């Protein structure tokens, strides 16, 4: 189940990677492309100041808001035989 943590309303542009940084703010960085030099400096778009909880995944949803979802535990089980 997804829960909205902060309503930001970020408009996405192509060629950028959007994420929640370690300070809990919405940020973006230019994606690396073959043959092109890119800056590794992140640009903070919205100061949210979210305190992250362990066991949750924080991301920017389709509407441009910061959301959190519980991480799946475990993984795929191998078939024996």
Arithmetic mean of pLDDT, 13-28: 92
Is residue 30 in some structural domain?
A: yes
Q: Residue 41 is encoded by which pair of tokens? A: 């400096």
Categorise residue 9: left if φ over 0, alpha if ψ from -120 to 50, beta otherwise: left
Is residue 15 in some structural domain?
A: yes
Whether the per-residue pLDDT at 50 is higher than 80: the answer is yes
Q: Which domain holds residue 25?
A: 2-70
Is residue 34 in some structural domain?
A: yes
Number of domains present in the structure of the chain: 1
Is residue 81 in some structural domain?
A: no
Predicted pLDDT at 34? 78
Predicted pLDDT at 4? 93
Is residue 35 in some structural domain?
A: yes
Is residue 46 in some structural domain?
A: yes
Helices (H), ranges, 1-81: none
* Strand residue runs (E) in the chain: 2-6, 16-20, 26-30, 43-46, 56-60, 66-70
**Average of per-residue pLDDT values in the chain:** 87
Q: Taking Cα atoms as reference points, which of 29, 68, 64 lies closest to residue 50? A: 68
């Amino acid at each position: 189940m997804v829960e909205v943590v902060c309503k930001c309303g970020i408009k996405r542009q192509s060629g950028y990677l959007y994420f929640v940084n370690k300070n809990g703010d919405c940020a973006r960085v230019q994606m690396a492309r073959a043959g092109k030099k890119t800056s590794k400096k992140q640009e903070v778009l919205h100061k949210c100041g979210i305190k992250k909880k362990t066991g949750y995944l924080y991301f920017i949803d389709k509407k441009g808001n910061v959301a959190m979802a519980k991480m799946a535990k475990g993984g795929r089980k191998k078939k024996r035989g």
